[in-house]
Chains A and B, each alone.
Chain A
């Protein structure tokens, strides 16, 4: 982001996730709706969030931290956890180490990094969020956590329920009997109580056998990000499939990549909840992109390995209708389909607002997070064609030969034959953006004995835009 003009980054749901200092001076802050931010500062430049790019930009920061302390763990671009217990002795104290780390980050990314030190990741994260004037080192973790708002647990619905019950801080939550919280709220409540009590998720130390790792080697090194993204999805699925068989789920994974020349890179990623296919594939893809674009994998990727670094018995909570075996089989089938036709041809879609059938569909590639609708589906959309929608919609309107008599359609040419129009409805006029030179379009439903068609007329020509097949 430029530093001299107001700029903000918004996510798929049009919520501000980051703002630079000129934007913040206008009152824009993370969590605000885009419209609200633009009302505060109409000149603000808006960028769409791309976590792949963020991972690439964050890579030098991670490398700078790794030069001081090994085993940096990434949560997402912008947030890392660093286990410093061992390094503290080497550097002679927490203050010295944290000061060294802040200076090291500033050299590669400039000022502005927020560092927090605490016993566990949960408290450290919230300490970092409150580190305004330099690193914040928490000495009394229980008191620090007790002062936090209950919203810090990160589950909005649960936090609202706690507030409704009169519990507003983590301290009040921690004072409740754990058994009662677990009985009332289940696993999610139990996790919240543990966080509030300063106990991050309990991990059972166990030896993770090498056989759980998933590794792929490539005779033809992978050189482009498309191939790497596809490989990421495959290894993520392979790993989770294997762990599912063992009845465990990964909270931390180590991603290891080997370049053609034999150079090996590795990085640990962690997640508060057990990784699922989408989140794990995303992390592997971000990491590979960051390495590839920073020149870390010269000559291409020869080997990719993903290894669980920490597993727990908590599997992903499945919906009532979900069956883990059929889920895994469906995933395998779709990965196979992707390998045959490419990821751009295996698609999902979600509804969005719009007047025409093609406008009302938001496509995205299967296996990737669903983007937020660009047009509000709940808005009224005057001129919108009512259901039923045509089952077939050509990618582009196709010329259609229609004979008209005194403004009424009389017959349609379908391939080599003419079909009389037995009835029709319309026109429905779509005005278009007249201020940008777009012409009005009239849409008709034409019914013939061979079927019904949706067509639009503009510039004196008729185009097919849907078949009610």
Chain B
């Protein structure tokens, strides 16, 4: 008798030269998740802020030191690839918002640069998706739930984010995972809901 295979959850951490793509509409919690991925990186990390909205307070809360983090504001679509490429070349990790309309060839070149420089990169498109093959791990937000508030009482406390993980980082099979952020750990994968999607239904 063989035991049932244990589900293999994707590791939510940056790997050298690998791109993590975060796909979903603003408000679904992907920015905090992406910033949390930077927390254990040694040395300097940079965030490319397209809208000028990125808050360093969230960066500090997830554990990134203020002394080692730089926010580069760039709302010019023409300059964005050059700025991001410069940061990928020299920083220890890069989180970059991708402006709407950024072409697939440019994103592929940045992915290749990240591999060549072994810089881990988090890409967060502000509209649409990333071209296939660019992210090693693609995380798409499905639902977001907050705990702690009730008709005027309490405060936002715990966030549960349901994500569809795909790409080589999960062996090419899409998985649904749930990430719980209770303020102390932004990247805790909660196993009770994690399950591999059925590949084919037979009726």
| Residues of A in contact with B (beta carbons under 8 Å apart) | 321-323, 326-327, 329-334, 336-337, 340-341, 345-351, 357-358, 360-361, 366, 385-395, 408, 414, 423-427, 445, 447-453, 466-469
User: In the complex, A358→B57 CA distance in Å?
Assistant: 9
The 8 Å CB contact of A450, one of B25, B35, B43, is B25
User: In the complex, A334→B46 CA distance in Å?
Assistant: 9
Contact yes or no, A391 B35, CB < 8 A: yes
Contact yes or no, A337 B54, CB < 8 A: no
Name 17 interchain pairs, CB-CB below 8 A, sorted by A: A327-B44, A334-B46, A336-B90, A341-B79, A346-B70, A347-B71, A385-B155, A388-B183, A389-B57, A389-B58, A391-B31, A423-B146, A445-B156, A447-B146, A450-B144, A451-B25, A467-B26
Q: Identify whether the interface residues of A are mostly helix, strand, loop, or mixed.
A: mixed
User: In the complex, A386→B61 CA distance in Å?
Assistant: 11
B86 interface residue (CB < 8 Å to A): yes
The 8 Å CB contact of B91, one of A330, A358, A395, is A330
Type the 1/0 row for B48-77, where 1 means its CB is closer than 8 Å to any CB of A.
000111111110110000110111111010
User: In the complex, A468→B149 CA distance in Å?
Assistant: 14
Residues on B with beta carbons closer than 8 Å to the beta carbon of A327: 43-44
Distance in Å: Cβ of B124 to nearest Cβ of chain A: 9
Q: Identify which of residues 122-171 in chain B touch chain A, using a CB-to-CB cut-off of 8 Å.
A: 143-144, 146, 148-156, 159
Type the 1/0 row for B86-102, where 1 means its CB is closer than 8 Å to any CB of A.
11011110000000000
The 8 Å CB contact of B32, one of A351, A391, A445, is A391
The 8 Å CB contact of B73, one of A345, A387, A388, A414, is A345
The 8 Å CB contact of A321, one of B43, B52, B146, B181, is B43
User: In the complex, A467→B31 CA distance in Å?
Assistant: 10
Contact yes or no, A341 B148, CB < 8 A: no
User: In the complex, A73→B61 CA distance in Å?
Assistant: 45
User: In the complex, A130→B146 CA distance in Å?
Assistant: 65
Q: How many A-B residue pairs have CB under 8 A?
A: 182
Q: Identify whether the interface residues of B are mostly helix, strand, loop, or mixed.
A: mixed
B30 interface residue (CB < 8 Å to A): yes
User: In the complex, A346→B76 CA distance in Å?
Assistant: 14
Contact yes or no, A326 B74, CB < 8 A: no
Contact yes or no, B90 A467, CB < 8 A: no
Contact yes or no, A447 B156, CB < 8 A: yes
Q: CB-nearest residue of chain B relative to A331? A: B90
B28 interface residue (CB < 8 Å to A): yes
Residues on A with beta carbons closer than 8 Å to the beta carbon of B43: 321-323, 326-327, 330
Distance in Å: Cβ of B75 to nearest Cβ of chain A: 9
Contact yes or no, A388 B58, CB < 8 A: yes
The 8 Å CB contact of B149, one of A349, A387, A447, A466, is A447
Contact yes or no, A452 B146, CB < 8 A: yes
Contact yes or no, A469 B52, CB < 8 A: no
Contact yes or no, A467 B52, CB < 8 A: no
Given contacts A330-B44, A468-B27, contact A347 B70 (CB under 8 A): yes
